[in-house]
Amino acid sequence: MWGNWCGPGHGGGTAVDTLDRLCERHDKCYGDRGYFSCACDAQLKAEIDRFSGQMKSNERAVAAAIKLVFSTGVCNPF
């Protein structure tokens, strides 16, 4: 989906930009807290808001789509 860390099948290598770094953190959070952790998803959405000003326009558009996916999906509260 984006870079080396954003999306299914992406989960390794060096992050290529701001959004990819956020996805890397999100993936590692899932590793610590479990898949679909609500806390990890909330952190990703907050960080997208916080760092969107540092993203290029196409990166920001993908970030908005990722945020939407994690806003409408079901997460694991445990």
Q: Is residue 68 part of a domain?
A: yes
Q: What is the dihedral of CA 51, 64, 61, 5, to 10 degrees?
A: 70
Contacts of 77 (CB under 8 A, 6+ apart): 38
Instruction: From 12, 76, 14, select the one nearest 42 (Cα to Cα).
Output: 76
Residue pair 22/38 in contact (Cβ under 8 Å)? The answer is no
Domain hosting residue 57, numbered range: 18-72
Task: Quote the pTM value.
Answer: 0.94
Q: Is residue 40 part of a domain?
A: yes
Q: Is residue 54 part of a domain?
A: yes
Q: Is the pLDDT of residue 40 over 90?
A: yes
Q: What is the tens place of the pLDDT at every residue in 57-77?
A: 999 999 999 999 999 989 999
Q: Is residue 2 part of a domain?
A: no
Number of domains observed in the structure of the chain: 1
